Amino acid sequence: MTTRPKGVIPALLTHMFDNGKIDYDSIDRHVEFLIANGVHGIVPCGTTGQSPTISWEEHEEINKTVIAARDRANSKTSVIIGAGSNNLIEAVESTKKATEEGADATLHVTGYYNMPTQEGFANYFLGVADAASEKGVIIYNIPGRGHPLILPETMAALAKARKNIWGTKDSTGGRVAGHKLYNEERSLWRAIRREANMRGLSLFGIWSGDDPVTCAMMTDPEIRANGVISVWANVFPHVYAKMVEAILRHDYKAAEKIDNSLKELNGLVGVRTGYYFPVGSENIYVEDDNFRNPQPAQFVAYTLGLTNSPMVRSPMIVPPKEVQRKVGVALHRLFVEHEDYFGPITEFYHPQPSVADRLMEYKEVV
């Protein structure tokens, strides 16, 4: 069975043209960039890759593109394909295809709208684990995107029942407001590790699903996260890899220094702002809307020259000027403070205009 990856695993953006069609050549190049800059795995067709808006046929083509790029590089980088669905029949079919194509594992976000019970989750994951044969399965726990919390005991019991259930990508924040057991900081994460340990599952993996909490999850001895399935490692793979590798060798001081330098960037996964938008002949003002991943990340990749378009498919939208300004100003600040973070982008992509010129319009006026 493939080794469970530790480290930085970008949740791959799906590159598109302005017309919304998928830019497979740009995806191929992006994978080459990520591997060259030290990532430990790649997740194509996850929610960061706009999985709800791409067809299963497009899923398959993206997966083939990523695996071909990995194999061409003769790399041991793990490919963990997003194969989740709120429909088990689709998920089983997608899992089988992913394993046939050469994936090392599949990642499953599930249950949105259906709101499954814990038994329903168990039925789902037993089904996809059997479909995956010997390949890994990772449970994606992200109740903020429309399904109930998958409980620690459910996940640990599943991993005991099926050895190829590797663990969980966690995007819960580590606590659940109002929950009688998990309302304290990091209490849910610690409960996951405790439930796994009680069942003798020393290899049970916990991957951070949120860049800002990776350091906390990996350095806490009661959690011992394996790494991060990351949004911003799409753009700065070398920086996140350096941080995680420092943690893995127990150089927590070095890791914390990098983590602190990334706090503003990490906060841009979701951007809140007020803005106007047209509906027919009217301009509607929204005082406070949330532009969630992947909308800001796709814009950043475009701004820095990693992709040819900021396009995301409806009902997501290309961020309006208000969001672009917020994101751009933060990027420019990061460039001023840590220009070296942007060096590998310049060396690999040679963007014209240069990164410095692209960010100049976002320079703050003092």
pLDDT digits (tens, 9 = 90+) for 185-221: 999 999 999 999 999 999 999 999 999 999 999 999 9
Do 326 and 283 lie in a common domain? yes
Residue 260 and residue 134 share a domain: yes
Confidence of residue 366 (pLDDT cuts 50, 70, 90): very low
Query: Does the structure show a pLDDT above 50 at 231?
Result: yes
For residues 243 and 348, state if they share a domain.
Answer: no
Are 173 and 66 contained in the same domain?
yes
Asked whether the predicted pLDDT for residue 365 surpasses 70, the reply is: no
Q: What is the CATH number of the domain that holds 152?
A: 3.20.20.70
Task: Work out how many domains the chain is built from and give that number.
Answer: 2
Look up 321 and say whether it is catalytic.
Answer: no
Residue 241 belongs to a domain: yes
Catalytically annotated residue among 6, 124, 135, 140: 140
Please give the Cα distance from 209 to 229 (Å, whole number).
5
Which residues pair with residue 23 across a beta bridge? none
pLDDT of residue 364: 83
Same domain flag for 276 and 206: no
Q: Is residue 365 part of a domain?
A: no
Final residue of a domain: which of 264, 279, 294? 264
Does residue 297 sit in helix, strand or coil? helix
169 is annotated as an active-site residue: yes
Task: Categorize the per-residue pLDDT at 12 as very low, low, confident or very high, splitting at 50, 70 and 90.
Answer: very high
* Mean of pLDDT values over 151-160: 98
Which of 169, 326, 341, 362 is the catalytic position?
169
17 and 109 both lie in a single domain? yes
Q: Are residues 124 and 48 in the same domain?
A: yes
Averaged pLDDT score across all residues of the chain: 96
The answer to whether residue 74 scores a pLDDT higher than 80 is yes
Residue that is last in its domain, among 264, 296, 313: 264
For residues 157 and 127, state if they share a domain: yes
* Element of type H or E holding 10: strand 7-10
| Co-location of 167 and 282 in the same domain | no
| Structure tokens given for 207 | 């991957």
Closest CA to 214 of 3, 10, 2: 10
The boundaries of the domain holding residue 310 are 269-360
What are the DSSP calls for 51-102, one per residue?
A: GGGS-HHHHHHHHHHHHHHHHHTT---EEEEE---SSHHHHHHHHHHHHHHT
Do 314 and 195 share a domain, yes or no?
Answer: no
pLDDT in tens, 315-336: 999 999 999 999 999 999 999 9
On whether residue 366 sits in a domain, the answer given is no
Would you say residue 1 lies in a domain? no
* Statement to judge: residues 160 and 185 lie in one domain: yes
The three-class DSSP label of residue 158 is helix
- Percentage of the chain with pLDDT > 90? 95
Write the pLDDT tens digit of every residue in 250-293: 999 999 999 999 999 999 999 999 999 999 999 999 999 999 99
Helix, strand counts (H, E) of the chain: 14, 10
Same domain? 72 vs 113:
yes
pLDDT per residue over 120-131, tens digit each? 999 999 999 999
Average pLDDT on 50-63 reads: 97
Do the domain assignments include residue 221?
A: yes
Last residue of one domain, picked from the residues 214, 242, 264: 264
